[in-house]
Amino acid sequence: MAEAEHRDVVVVGAGVSGIYQIKRLVDLGIDAIVLEADEDLGGTWYRNRYPGARFDSESYTYGYSFSKELLDEWHWKERFSSQPENLRYLNYVADKFDLRRHMRFDARVETLTWNERERLWHLGLQGGEACTARFVVTSVGVLSVPALPRYEGIDDFAGEAFHTYWWPKEPVPLVGRRVGIIGTGATGVQVIAEIADEVRELTVFQRRPNWSSPLNNSPISEAEMAEIRERYDEIFANCAMSTGGFEHVPDRRGFWNLTREERIAFWDELYEKPGFAILQGNFPEIFYDEAANREMSAYIADRIRRRVADPEVAEKLIPRDHGFGVQRLPLETHYFEAYNRDNVHLVDLSETPIERFTRRGIETTARHHDLDLIVFATGFDAITGAFDRMRIRGVEGRLLGDKWCDGPSTYLGVMTHGFPNLLMVAGPQSVSGSTNFPRAIEGGVNWVTGLLEHVFDRGYTRLEAQAEAEQEWVQEVVRVHERLLLRRSRGWFTGYNANVAGHEAGKVRYQAYFGGAPRYMEFLRKAAADGYPRIDRSR
């Protein structure tokens, strides 16, 4: 990209959001380009190539809804589709709509600097290139900055080691190898279950267990896919009405109106159902009523005990510090059964912490573990990490990372005061982190596109969210958050990753909006319908 190159809109990131965002802009004839740091498109589904990586959302609720033709053409092969298929899908979409020619790869945006006099963003790319843009739309994903632990001697390990996000493209030999994995979030749970019967030894280093329940995946036949296609309008309408953007409908009979036996019979049904039914289709009380949540957690704990042969191991796999559903729930396929295998070993780091890494493996306070491969499933600098990494300087050179050092503050999750002409799709304090991602991002992209249309039609050159509007939105985010039991959890939903500086336990960063997608979309709809009164505009 030449130094002088200028675009009306630069979109940062060619993942699920960026692909749809560029489609909308190109359709409107807006001069726009996507800059993508990786060598190809796909974002999350380009990067996370680890064994077992797949949707926890029903595939047909995850796909884009904007094109009837696309919906008619694409056959999802599994109810919860795997990473290779998901990446094929995103490529199919980009090729079908000829979007690649609006994308530039290997183009990592390192700096974004606002020039008030010109009313332009100056973008600095890795390698020294630069360009300018009137508007920048970030579609950088919520989990795109992996976080590695800081252990003594971590660089001394002589074997292979990588974060799941960086799982190599080339096949990684597993047969006959001694593999160690750190982390038991949604990623760790998927990897462990997938590779347990392939590797020679699998040692799981678990700091805190997570609640987890069955995914109940199955293939989708031609006939079923035809039925799904017939139902697409209904499917997307259902998702739009649900807080999480899924088809599952909460049970509103009232937790305490039923007998314990009735509740258990209901949970027995939910446990066999696919996907997040056990979360989204459950009694809403489990999310805010401690006693209800305790009972639900006890039910799932019993399920774990029934699946794990060694009672001592089972107890270690049951979370004690948080209730079911208050952190991101990993969904699993034979995860707990993996611990019944002789070659799988659970190391409870709460009893025997890691002391250091060595040339040959990992040493805990109890013993040394010889390993050939170490997998870090240690999570991400979630939601705000990608913004911090870009070094975004707004009005008077203020760094966004400084403004957000104690947590983000935004107007509707799409703008932030002091950073004019910067629009965020799936940004902090939107619903994207807390819902079926594409359902929320389609709404976000449509809103951002509508705003840009409004701006270009009227010749505005500067947009800025009002400071009071931002404060009001933050209050709404906090108010909803504080009503839920998740307020006391320690996970990426609440902005916690022990490996990221500034993320101390107990310090909540209000990263996502938990008021549900319908309520959030209503805020967006109203702001647009009223003519964007909380966004200052000038020519």
User: Which residues contact ligand NA7 (rule: CB under 6 A)?
Assistant: 143, 149, 182-188, 207-208, 328, 349, 377-380, 491-492, 497-499
9 versus 196: smaller Cβ distance to ligand NA7: 196
Please state, in angstroms and rounded to a whole number, the distance separating the CA atoms of residues 530 and 393: 30
User: Residue 490: is it exposed, middle or buried by C-beta count within 10 angstroms (0-12/13-18/19+)?
Assistant: buried
Tell me the backbone φ, ψ of residue 292, rounded to 5 degrees: -65, -45
Query: From CA 48, how far away is CA 310, in angstroms rounded?
Result: 32
What is the closest distance, in whole angstroms, from the C-beta atom of residue 162 to ligand NA7 in the complex? 13
Beta bridge partners of 370: 361
Q: Judged by CB, which is closer to ligand NA7: 132, or 378?
A: 378
Contacts with 264 (C-beta within 8 Å, 6 or more apart), sequence order: 299
* Amino acid type, 414: V
Q: How far apart are CA 485 and CA 507, in angstroms?
A: 15
CB of 257 to ligand NA7, least distance (A): 32
Q: Which is nearer to ligand NA7, 18 or 141 (CB)?
A: 141
Q: 348 or 470: whose CB is closer to ligand NA7?
A: 348
Closest approach of ligand NA7 to the CB of residue 65, in Å: 21
Among residues 319 and 420, whose Cβ is nearest to ligand NA7?
A: 319
- CA distances (Å), 496 to each of 336, 479, 492, 511, in order? 25, 19, 5, 10
Least distance between ligand NA7 and beta carbon 113 (Å): 31
Q: What are phi and psi of 291, to 5 degrees?
A: -65, -40
Least Cβ distance, residue 491 to ligand NA7 (angstroms): 6
The encoded tokens of residue 250 equal 């909460």
> 378 vs 409, which CB is nearer to ligand NA7?
378
What is the end-to-end Cα distance of the chain in Å, rounded? 28
Q: Which residue is nearest to ligand NA7 (CB)?
A: 185
Strand 331-332 and strand 213-214: pairing?
parallel
Read off the DSSP letter of residue 438: H
Minimum CB separation of residue 180 from ligand NA7 in Å reads: 11
Cβ proximity to ligand NA7: between 185 and 394 the closer is 185
Nearest approach in angstroms of CB 71 to ligand NA7 is 24
